[in-house]
């Protein structure tokens, strides 16, 4: 892993969150100023991070790469708050905690069988 990626993991380790529910809770529990700081620092390197991650199938990512993926997913979660809402959550809508990601049949989605990536 290159040193810039290590610095991102060190600086933003609190955003290494494996599930959408965790990322949503972190976003809503943060100050908008902190979300903007995270968003502004990750935005310029997002292309590089994704370029690194797309070189392997998800199931083959090592622990550090899986942590970078979690940072990228957290950036996506934060982007809507910064770009669309200018608030930690959308006003005038159903609270996000009432939504759950589910597969066909309504069961919650678990990581793929055999997934060896980072799961806290």
Contact yes or no for 70/64 (Cβ under 8 A): no
Contact yes or no for 48/2 (Cβ under 8 A): no
- 100 to 8, 103, 120: CA distances (angstroms): 29, 10, 19
Contact yes or no for 78/39 (Cβ under 8 A): yes
Report the chain (120 residues): mean pLDDT per 10 consecutive residues: 93 94 91 97 96 93 95 95 86 58 56 47
User: What gap in Å lies between CA 35 and CA 38, rounded to an integer?
Assistant: 5
To the question of pTM greater than 0.85 for the whole model, the response is no
């Amino acid at each position: 892993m290159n040193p810039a990626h290590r610095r991102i993991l060190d600086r933003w380790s609190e955003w290494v969150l494996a599930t959408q529910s965790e990322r949503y809770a972190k976003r809503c529990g943060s100050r908008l100023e902190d979300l903007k700081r995270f968003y502004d620092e990750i935005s310029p390197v997002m292309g590089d991070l994704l370029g690194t991650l797309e070189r392997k199938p998800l199931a083959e990512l090592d622990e550090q790469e899986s942590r970078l993926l979690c940072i990228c997913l957290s950036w996506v979660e934060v982007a809507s708050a910064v770009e669309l809402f200018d608030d930690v959550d959308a006003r005038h809508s159903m609270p996000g905690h009432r939504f759950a990601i589910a597969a066909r049949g309504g069961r919650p989605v678990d990581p793929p069988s055999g997934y060896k990536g980072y799961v806290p």
